[in-house]
Structure 1
Amino acid sequence: MAGDVLRARRFPQDALDYYMYAMRRGGKEVPLLNKMGITELGLGHSQRARTYFKEVIKLKKKDAEGWNNLGAVEYVMGEESNAIFDYKRAIKLDKKGASFHSNLATAYLEDKNWSGARREYAIALRLDPEIFDRSNSLGVTARMLTTDDHARFCYELARIFAVRGDDVQMLHYLTMASEGGFDVLEAMSHDQVMEHLRKDPRVLLLVHNARALRTGRASVENVPGALPPLSSQPEVQHE
């Protein structure tokens, strides 16, 4: 418990000391090794984290979290095929693990397997509708929510929410995708699910705003489609 508190307060090295102290005095090995591995992963010590997670599945072959965490560290190390294998093992052991499906989807996204990524993200959202709205840093399950192509990740989530009829979340993730540099309008032109939104004024506006944020000089004329001009406002006089 002391280790968890220290990790929550961003003292990972101290947290590791407490986890090791607990291990030496008969603490439960599997959850402690998972926590130690996640702490090392957060510190950027991928090889150490991998050693801990491999020890977990050696001690308990059917530990779904151990397989998931091993997949997470292998994903970080650029071993997508190994990560996909590990995530699938985790899901086989626990089909209701929303984080496992989310992680598999992220690995698929990196592997350009768009359909697989959409399927797994949809499952993750069905199992846990709030999975992308909170962190999970204090548990024993690593959840990889970012990729090198994070903007594409956001677009895929927007697509899923569009299918679900959730316009608020769809527009939220489209905004994040566009602000991340992803060409939302171009992607929509080749996407049967999203194509009808290509001329939606809300989408055009968020694209315009995202370009303005990125460049500082975007104009309405640069955005495909017509946007109504902003009404002129009288100048406010300050006394």
Structure 2
Amino acid sequence: MNLGIVKAALGKTDEAENCYRTAIKHRRKYPDAFYNLGNLYIELKRVDEAATAFRNATRLKATHVNAWLNLALLHENGGRLVEAESVLEEARRHLPDHVGFASNLANVLAKQGRFDESEPYYKMAISADPKSASLHGNLAVMYHRAGKLRGAEREYALSLDLDPSNELMKDNLRKLVNQRAKENN
């Protein structure tokens, strides 16, 4: 498996794949080899094979955080939000306190327009990592999309307090202020 990692880093993807497959052949219960194989398949844009590899990693090791996250992101990036949601809920059953699953689930639910369901997951993630500018920013965007403008303004401000250089948050806050000014006229 380690040789496969090196080969992948060198861009020798065929050789890397062979190394991972050899590692799995000799040690069938090798979640990290499946995980690395999944990462290689993502790089090669072999999405279905990547999903299978990540799923195999999580079956062998239900606490393999990165395999869960990559599997969920694979679905999310492919526009399969219901599948991403299902993966994240399953991951949370195995690792209920993992902040990454909560924040990713919040994002997936918000992308589906299920703002009331996403809010508690954002808050859960923020309570575990209150100094995360990106978590506050994501909650701000969700509030903004949901029409909860006071909450959005508060979270944009918190996000910018934590990361004053974030141009996206500055732009979003400007848009919100302009939106509120138009509504008040």
TM-score band, normalised by shorter chain: 0.5 to 0.7
Task: Give me the whole-angstrom Cα distance separating, in 1, the residues matched to 2:154 and 2:5.
Answer: 34
User: Any gaps of 5 or more consecutive residues in structure 2?
Assistant: 143-150
Letter of the 1:121 partner, please give it.
Answer: Y
Q: TM-score, normalised by structure 2?
A: 0.65
User: Which one has a larger percent helix, Structure 1 or Structure 2?
Assistant: 2
**1:168 aligned to 137, 161, 176, which one?**
161
Q: TM-score, normalised by structure 1?
A: 0.53
CA RMSD of aligned residues (A): 4.1
**Are residues 1:156 and 2:149 paired?**
no
Which residue of the partner structure matches residue 184 of structure 1?
176
- What is the CA–CA distance in structure 2 between the aligned matches of 1:26 and 1:47, rounded to whole Å? 23
Alpha carbons of structure 1 residues 130 and 169: separation in structure 2 relative to 1, 3 Å: closer
Report deviation, 1:129.
5.7
- Name structure 1 gaps, 5 residues minimum: 134-144, 146-151, 190-197, 199-239
1:166, distance to aligned residue in structure 2 (A):
5.9
Contact 2:122–2:139 under 8 Å retained in 1: no
Query: 1:67: Cα distance to partner?
Result: 4.3
CA distance in 2, matches of 1:58, 1:78: 24
1:94 alignment counterpart: 95
Task: Show the 5 A alignment for 1:41-60.
Answer: 41-59=42-60
2:176 corresponds to which letter in structure 1? V
Number of equivalenced pairs: 170
Distance 2:156 2:169 in 1: 17
CA distance in 2, matches of 1:186, 1:155: 16
Counterpart position of 1:236: none
Corresponding residue SS for 1:32: helix
Counterpart for residue 70 of structure 1: 71
| Partner SS, residue 96 of structure 1 | coil
Identity %: 17
Verify: 1:35 aligned to 2:57, yes or no: no
CA drift of 1:102 comes to 2.1
Deviation at 1:57, TM superposition (A): 4.3
CA deviations over 1:31-50 (Å, ceiling 9, x no partner): 22122213322443211111
Structure 2 CA distance for partners of 1:178 and 1:52, relative to 1, 3 Å? same
Shift of 1:25: 3.3
Q: Deviations over 1:2-36 (max 9, x none)?
A: 444555x4737254443333223327521221222
- Offset from partner CA, 1:149-169 (integer Å, 9 cap, x none): xxx848438949739956523
Give the secondary structure class of the aligned counterpart of 1:78. coil
Which structure exhibits the higher relative contact order, with contacts defined as CA atoms closer than 8 Å and separated by 6 or more residues? 1
